[in-house]
A and B are shown apart, each in its own frame.
Chain A
Amino acid sequence: MARRASALQQPRPSRPSSSPARKSLAPPARKNLGQPARKRHLRVVPSPSIPATRQGKSNKTAASNGKRAEAHPKAASHLLKWTACWALVAAFVFGLVLLNVFVAQGSFQLAELREQVADQERQYRQMRYEVAKSESPERVAEMASRLGLVVPAEQEYILGRPRTLVPETGEPEEPADANMKALLEGP
């Protein structure tokens, strides 16, 4: 970004001034015959007309950018805008990652809860089965007989026309007839 900023701030070098540099970069091949290729090709002739950024001096340029930005408020605001944009993008990406993390966590929690629900349902069914098994008439009859309980050989019924003995008013009502009353009161 700094490079780009400096490129924008500095005036473009004019074409005529650059032509000597080109010449110096590409000397005639005949003159250099017999010399090491390294010297021939990698020798860089610095040119005062070429911007610093093109000469691999970006650090220095970047350092000078601040001063230049101060010098040019428009450029500084531009830099700020870019920085803010990048910060926003970074925040968005971070937020997205964070959201994804939360979703993932929620997903794992959901899976665990589903597992728990299935487990509880399994236990519930198992208990229903155990209860049904325990209440099985065969088992109850067996336990009852072990405890000495027997089915009554005789049973008696009270015949009558019982009215509501405790009406809604709370006042107990007299049984319908004397037989019923005697039966209810006992001997």
Chain B
Amino acid sequence: MSTATLGAGSRLIGGRVSGRRVSRLNRPSFRLMLMLILLATGLVAISARMVFIQVVSADRFTSLAAEQRERRIDLAPQRGAILDRAGNELAISLDHNTVIANPRQVPDKPAAAAALAPLLGASAAEIEQKLNTDRGFVYVARKVGTDVGAQVASLNIPGVSLVDESKRFYPSGSLAAHIVGFVGLDNEGLGGLESAHDGLLTGKPGFVFMERDPKGRAIAAGKFIERPPAPGHDIVLAIDREIQYAAEAALAKGIKDYGAKAGTVIVMNPENGDILAIANQPTFDPNSFAEFKSDQRRNRALVDVYEPGSANKVITAAAALEAGVVGPSTMMKVPDNYRIADKVFHDSHPHPVLNLSFAEVIQQSSNIGTIKVGLKLGKERLYEYMEKFGYGKPTGLDFPGESGGILPKTDKWWDTSMGTIPIGQGVAVTPMQIMGVFATVANDGLAVQPQLVKGVIDEEGKRKPAGTPASRKVIEPETARTLTEILVGVTESKNGTGKAAAVPGYKVAGKTGTAQKPNPKGGYEGYIGSFIGYAPAEDAKLVVGVMLDDPTPIWGGVSAAPVFKEVMQFSLRHLGIGPGSVLPPEGAPLPAPDRSGGAAPDPSKGAPVNPGTAD
């Protein structure tokens, strides 16, 4: 096309015919083509993006979407409670809030710290220090009360949120602390039964998996999978809360009165092995266990070993009676010292040569008389009975750190061992082991394995009792009853060493102990004063053992016996155990009430005297 063909005054300007101003955009074909190109470009771009999203990066976007929409919340199980025999809570878990933060999302850290500090009971600087980190998660404060949690939530600080956690509480404070134990910050059992039965108490965690809307609510028709957590089992102990308190109070008083360093009290039912109380001093509060030294948290009744001293004479006596070496009235000449190998052994105090029955030897706790009986018995039989009574192995309570004591084999005994072991030196036992010895005698020679846990309550509330405790015959019932008669004389006879342990109205059988403590550097240093006994002696329902570390005076019959009396008296009254459970025969007059206070000795109640002598 040329300008000549268009005529004068006409020329092409920019694709338009000058004068008629025909734009290319006015051409429908051009516009259609343009639109087509634009649409095609758009479609291609969208398609490309779709391919990119749906094919190339499908996995990434799927996971991103799932992350945004789906949420799995782990549900921590509620830790089971620890209850006493009556169902009173000794340990319980409560819901608390933990304040967490994503420091990257906290815009104004100093302001956030200043706002949180008064609520959390911490300094603003301390909280700010926690927030000044590159990490995406920090604990600001763990296990604060739900009321504090609500206040924190009301602050609406970006990046700061709450999670639920449970916290362990011990409503009775230090009561039975050594038995119950304690848990760590993550509710893991760290001591006592909390540790021994951690698996049972913890339960199984659950979770909730859901699709949620932007506000965090579950989408109605979305995925929702819930597996609720299985709460831990409650554990029912044999412990009686009231007796436990009485034992702890009496022990604390005894330690104060006699200036002892430490002490232990155990209360046990000899018939079924139920441990009704274990008190230790010094003690601690499991609610704030970290503030106490490990020495205070130690369950001395099960972990510590000591040389039982004169309390061990019960085994020597039982073995001698069972073996027929002596009878209760077998007379013996008892000097105040006796040489074995290169060592001279003494009685507790000097005296002329006495003519004592075997019963009196035990009642007066004569070392020399017992050594002489031990020598007649022989070390093999003595060892055999100590083993039968449970020395040298744990009691089977399955308590963390329980000791089995020390019982050397006879081939390891020294020449002088027959002068020490019959009177309870040279062997070591836990207070629980020596309790087992007395419980066996009290139970007519039948040893019942002690029990701390009576049963569990599962998540459905069903109570599953613990199995019947194992029992084994150690001595004949006749031997046990004879020994009981002898031991009643300890609290009732004129020269009995444990008269301070007598409980008015009851026949109490028991034995004092004043044992030397071995010094780790060699030799002996200090004493353990003890009294272990049972009542009513005719049909024993309770065994109580008291051990005081370094009391003043050192004698168990003076320091430990009064504590025994207090604990036994309270326990008998609390359990409604009356005296004289064996009533006089029909028609016989009832005995007059004993108003003597129980301290007056009655020689006629001692063992019948046999004129025969052991010497």
Measuring CB to CB, which residues of chain A are less than 8 angstroms from any residue of chain B?
Answer: 36-38, 41-42, 100, 103-104, 106-108, 111, 122, 125-126, 128-129, 132-133, 135-138, 141, 151, 154-157, 159-161, 177, 179
Contact = CB atoms under 8 A, between A and B. Distances in A.
Interface of B: 22, 26-29, 78, 88-89, 92-95, 146, 169, 171-173, 175, 217-221, 241-242, 244-245, 249, 504-505, 570, 573, 578-580, 583, 586, 590-591, 593
A143 to B, nearest CB: 13
B220 A136 contact: no
Given A100-B220, A108-B217, A157-B505, A125 B92 contact: yes
A137 B241 contact: yes
B80 to A, nearest CB: 12
Contact of A129 (B26, B169, B219, B504): B169
A36 B23 CA distance: 11
A177 B591 CA distance: 13
Contacts of B92: 125, 128-129, 132
Given A37-B27, A129-B171, A138 B245 contact: yes
Contacts of B95: 122, 125
Given A128-B92, A129-B89, A136 B591 contact: no
A116 to B, nearest CB: 14
A138 B220 contact: no
A157 B175 contact: no
A175 to B, nearest CB: 12
A29 B222 CA distance: 63
B499 to A, nearest CB: 18
B537 to A, nearest CB: 16
Contacts of A104: 220-221
Nearest to A160: B590
Contacts of B175: 136-138
Given A42-B28, A125-B93, A128-B92, 10 more contacts: A37-B27, A41-B29, A100-B221, A104-B220, A137-B172, A141-B249, A151-B570, A156-B505, A157-B505, A157-B579
Contact of A138 (B29, B88, B172): B172
Contacts of A135: 88
A137 B244 CA distance: 9
Overall SS of chain A's interface = helix
A141 B248 CA distance: 13
A157 B598 CA distance: 14
8 contacts: A37-B27, A106-B220, A128-B89, A137-B175, A141-B249, A156-B505, A157-B580, A159-B593
B580 A159 contact: yes
Given A37-B27, A107-B218, A126 B94 contact: yes
Nearest to B213: A104
Nearest to B93: A125
Contacts of B244: 137
A135 B88 CA distance: 9
Nearest to A151: B570
A165 to B, nearest CB: 17
B583 A37 contact: no
Contacts of B218: 107, 111
A177 B583 CA distance: 13
Contacts of A161: 583, 586
B29 A179 contact: no
B171 A103 contact: no
A122 B146 contact: yes
A141 B593 CA distance: 29
A136 B172 contact: yes
B169 A136 contact: no
Nearest to B566: A151
Contacts of B27: 37
Contacts of A125: 78, 92-95
Contact of A154 (B146, B173, B217, B504): B504
Nearest to B208: A114
Given A136-B173, A141-B245, A159-B590, A37 B28 contact: yes
Considering the complex of A and B, which 10 residue pairs feature the smallest CB-CB distances, nearest first?
A: A137-B245, A132-B171, A104-B220, A107-B220, A132-B89, A133-B171, A136-B172, A103-B220, A122-B95, A159-B590
A155 B249 contact: no
Contacts of B573: 155
B28 A159 contact: no
Nearest to A134: B171
B504 A155 contact: yes
B72 to A, nearest CB: 17
Contacts of B505: 155-157
Contacts of A179: 590
A146 to B, nearest CB: 16
A78 B71 CA distance: 51
A85 B93 CA distance: 61
A129 B593 contact: no
Contacts of B221: 100, 103-104
A107 B219 CA distance: 8
Contacts of B89: 128-129, 132
Contacts of A41: 28-29
B586 A37 contact: no
Contact of A136 (B171, B219, B504): B171
Nearest to A161: B583
B344 to A, nearest CB: 46
A133 B175 CA distance: 11
B535 to A, nearest CB: 13
A173 to B, nearest CB: 16
Interface centre among B172, B579, B580 (most CB of A within 10 A): B172
B73 to A, nearest CB: 12
Nearest to B572: A155
A40 to B, nearest CB: 9
Contacts of B591: 159
B104 to A, nearest CB: 30
A126 B89 CA distance: 12
A37 B24 CA distance: 11
B341 to A, nearest CB: 52
A159 B593 CA distance: 8
A157 B221 CA distance: 73
A137 B242 contact: yes
Contacts of B504: 154-155
Interface centre among A103, A132, A179 (most CB of B within 10 A): A132
B245 A159 contact: no
Contacts of A107: 218-220
Nearest to A102: B220
